[in-house]
Amino acid sequence: MKKIVFMLLSLYIITFSVYAVDISAHSAILYEPETKTVLFEKNSEMPMSMASTTKIITAITAIENGKLDDVVTVSKYAADVEGSSVWLEEGEKQTLQDLLYGLMLSSGNDAAIAIAEHISGSCEEFAKLMNYTAQKAGVTNSSFKNPSGLDEEGHYTTALDMAKITAYAYKNETFKKIVSTKEYQIPWEGHEWNRTLKNHNKLLKIYDGCIGIKTGFTKKSGRCLVSSASRDGLQLIAVTLKAPDDWNDHIKMLDFGFSSLHPKTILKKADSVKFISVKNGVKEKVKCSIKEDVVIPFNDNIKYDLKYTLQNETEAPVGENQVVGYVDVYVNNRIVKTLNLYTTESCEKLYVPNLFDYFIKLYDYIM
């Protein structure tokens, strides 16, 4: 009887974790990037079209492969592309940085094409770079054919892959700044005023802690949305694909996530002190430690462990801030972070007089 009760209770817990949020999306995920924990999912590994949320990978690919102050000349093809735009004109010149704002705030397809042509010469070649970026982000079930997100055969992703791409992009400070911007102005040649770009992501205004990132829509894809929010050092990423009620879906998912997790300090740098032996030093050992506290998002379903790897000894002289080992942080049996162990004190080399030199000095003293 006890076994049956336990099995039913376990089933309830698993069901609650997966279906805890009632949402409209065909596919969705709530992802915690620090520990790569999936807090909620619905068909998250189903390949689907993703409309302009594609521009997330377009942006990070351009940032990694271009220079923000590059001057980009807009081609006729870019100026004439269908769909959402920032009204670029053929021959117009804009910096790559300004085009990135047009890409991510106003979802400009013209900006996407201009960026791709500038970086790689064509959209086809740029798509190869996009897929390479996806590989670096750990994505395994996506294929990118264009930088804008317009529907195209073979252009697809999954909610899980989009969450991984977003987590990867957020490691870049330029990307973070752009997607959190609510309004931005770029030059408008031939006009007395600038273009004013307003971010389509209304969660930036209505959801506490929202820090981005991108909307999307086509008739085939439906409403698509990737959002991210941060509270008390805890960041969450939400993705919905084909979601008629996407704004409310994201609010529900993010609320669920923030109520389910809390930051937990599992190792303070002051408590990480280790000792390493010193060969030929004036001290036998020196101290070493990590340089920051280890904080992870935590709940009762998360297990963690710390594993130290430390050199047996090091050769004198030893300076401060010398790397002598590392700490692997495991969450649910998976490495999520590695921190170096640094020496926190120095150690001079032990001087051992040469016997011949000693006799020479003694001889000189006597004579």
pLDDT digit string, tens, across residues 6-31: 333 333 333 334 446 899 999 999 99
Cα(126)–Cα(124) distance, rounded to whole angstroms? 5
Query: Residue 290 half-sphere exposure, CB side, CA atoms within 13 Å?
Result: 22
Whether 27 is in a domain gets the answer yes
Residues 310, 175 share a domain = no
- Predicted local distance difference test score (pLDDT) of residue 300: 85
Whether 252 is in a domain gets the answer yes
Q: How many structural domains is the chain composed of?
A: 2
Which residue in the list 44, 49, 52, 84 is annotated as catalytic? 52
Residues 187, 88 share a domain = yes
Low-confidence ranges of the chain (pLDDT < 50): 1-19
Domain holding 315, by residue range, is 266-343
- Predicted local distance difference test score (pLDDT) of residue 86: 96
Whether 38 is in a domain gets the answer yes
Q: What is the pLDDT of residues 276-314, one digit of tens each?
A: 999 999 999 999 999 999 999 998 888 999 999 999 999
Which residue in the list 84, 107, 272, 289 is annotated as catalytic? 107
Residues 36, 137 share a domain = yes
- Measured in degrees and rounded to the nearest 5, phi and psi for residue 344 equal -110, 5
230 is known as an active-site residue:
no
3 is known as an active-site residue:
no
Q: Where are the beta strands (DSSP E) in 219-303?
A: 222-231, 234-241, 262-267, 274-279, 285-289, 294-298
Whether 279 is in a domain gets the answer yes
Residues 229, 164 share a domain = yes
Residues 176, 108 share a domain = yes
Whether 307 is in a domain gets the answer yes
Whether 76 is in a domain gets the answer yes
pTM: 0.83
Beta-carbon count within 10 A of 201 CB: 26
Which residue in the list 27, 42, 55, 214 is annotated as catalytic? 55
Residues 125, 97 share a domain = yes
Residues 273, 198 share a domain = no
Residues 148, 107 share a domain = yes
277 is known as an active-site residue:
no
